[in-house]
Amino acid sequence: MPRAVKFSRYGGTEVLEIAEVERPSPGKGEILVRTVVAPINPGEIGIREGVFADFWPAAFPEGQGNDFAGWVAETGDGVSGFAVGDEVIGYAPRAAQADYVVLPATVAARKPAGIAWEQAAPLSAVGVTAWAAVNAVAPAAGETVVVSAAAGGVGVLAAQLAVLRGARVIGTAGRQNSDFLRSIGVVPVLHGEGLSNRIREVAPNGVDAFIDTFGSGNVDVAIALGVQPRRINTIADGRAVARHDVRHQAQEQAFTPELVEELASLVEQGLLSVPIARVYPLEEVRAAYDELGKRHTRGKIVLSLVAASERHTPLR
């Protein structure tokens, strides 16, 4: 039977289970997708642990995962833009980590044949979030932009998108990611205590914009550097948004299937890279989240639901 990741109470990774479920059926205007890969994201940890229970409560047994990529397995009545076998990139809140996912055809994006499943799937979440963050601070050619956690899932894409706009990008990260950041055109700066001074050393003429993807006081650093609040965007520090009136643009404000396809085109052209830290089989979902929870991942961790040998044969 089809599988889906579920949890029936708040807690650590021990509450995650792979349940057998009925194969869903698409309704009018919907498509059924056979999921090939589903990335995992830090926000999903907070949902599962109950951190956001006051405003994003779980409906037990709760599903998990948001972004995914796979084949169209079935179409509902009234769907004309997709056919069985089409490769798509999707976004389905709390439902993506499952063998089959139903979603409205109007929110599905086409996956180019020229990019790997693992690189395509994150674009509907971290890709769109990165684009929204960069667009919010609007870097111009020649300006200096700081991206916190620049080797992480959102940060690495935001840094590259800012570079594509012609900005000089400074990326905060651990020492182990310095050479990697240089390879994508980013000036690495070690995160942690004394960060403001280290940024001033590599940006003596000042910083024009700041993208925070990690929290932990990065907005305060940006303010201390003299960055105007309207040119600071955080996706990780809600209190700083209220305290400093900085911007908070992310996936929710920017998602469209057309944008996902635009980002996929950049990947296909070799202009945007989606680093994959590791691919876990679905059965090892607990281990995947344990690794993600350490917050030292370069790029994305992805769950695989279809064996590599079967990925080129659409299920009909």
User: Cα torsion for 116, 117, 121, 122, to the nearest 10°?
Assistant: -40
Beta bridge partners of 109: 89
Residue boundaries of the structural domains of the chain: 3-111+275-310, 126-252
- For residue 230, give every residue at least 6 positions away whose Cβ sits within 8 Å of its Cβ, in sequence order, or none: 246, 247
Q: The domain 3-111+275-310 belongs to what CATH superfamily?
A: Medium-chain alcohol dehydrogenases, catalytic domain (3.90.180.10)
Q: What is the pLDDT of residue 314?
A: 60
* Tens of pLDDT, residues 180-202: 999 999 999 999 999 999 999 99
% of the chain residues with pLDDT over 90: 94
Q: State mean pLDDT over 231-250.
A: 96
Q: What fold, for 126-252? A: Rossmann fold (3.40.50)
Average the pLDDT over each of 56-60, 137-141, 265-269, 285-289 and give the range with the smallest value.
56-60
What is the mean predicted confidence (pLDDT) over 16-32?
Answer: 98
**pLDDT exceeds 90 at position 307:** no
For residue 202, which phi and psi values (nearest 5 degrees)?
-95, -5
pLDDT at 62: 97
Calculate mean pLDDT across residues 12-41: 98
Q: What is the pLDDT of residues 202-219, one digit of tens each?
A: 999 999 999 999 999 999
For residue 121, pLDDT beyond 90? yes
The Cα 241–Cα 233 span in angstroms is: 9
C-alpha 174/C-alpha 111 separation (Å) is 33
pLDDT at site 141: 98
Average pLDDT, the chain: 96
Q: How is residue 259 written in tokens? A: 């944008």
Provide mean pLDDT across the span 129-149. 98
Q: How far is CA 165 from CA 11, 15, 145, 222, in A?
A: 42, 43, 11, 21
User: What number is the average pLDDT over the span 137-162?
Assistant: 98
Name the nearest CA neighbour of 274 among 112, 108, 90, 123.
123
Binning pLDDT at 50, 70 and 90, where does residue 309 land? confident
Do the strands 276-281 and 232-234 form a parallel or antiparallel pair, or are they unpaired? unpaired
DSSP for 134-174 reads HHHH-PPTT-EEEETTTTSHHHHHHHHHHHHTT-EEEEEE-
Distances (CA, A) of 1 to 64, 89, 99, 126: 18, 23, 9, 30
d(CA 113, CA 42): 28
List C-alpha distances in Å: 92 to 39, 167, 240, 252.
12, 33, 29, 12
pLDDT category of residue 178 using cuts at 50, 70 and 90: very high
What pLDDT, on the 0 to 100 scale, is given for residue 316? 44
Render pLDDT for 40-74 as a digit per residue (tens, 0 to 9).
Answer: 999 999 999 999 999 889 999 999 999 999 999 99
d(CA 198, CA 192): 10
- Please say whether the dihedral angle defined by the alpha carbons of residues 178, 179, 181 and 185, taken in this order, is positive or negative: positive
Contact 5, 68 (CB under 8 A): no
User: What pLDDT does 308 receive?
Assistant: 79
Position 313 pLDDT exceeds 90: no
Q: Is the pLDDT of residue 85 over 70?
A: yes
Q: pTM of this prediction? A: 0.95
Q: Are 3-111+275-310 and 126-252 the same fold in CATH?
A: no
Taking phi over 0 as left and psi of -120 to 50 as alpha, with beta for the rest, 113 belongs to alpha
- Rounded Cα distance, 41 and 146, in Å: 22
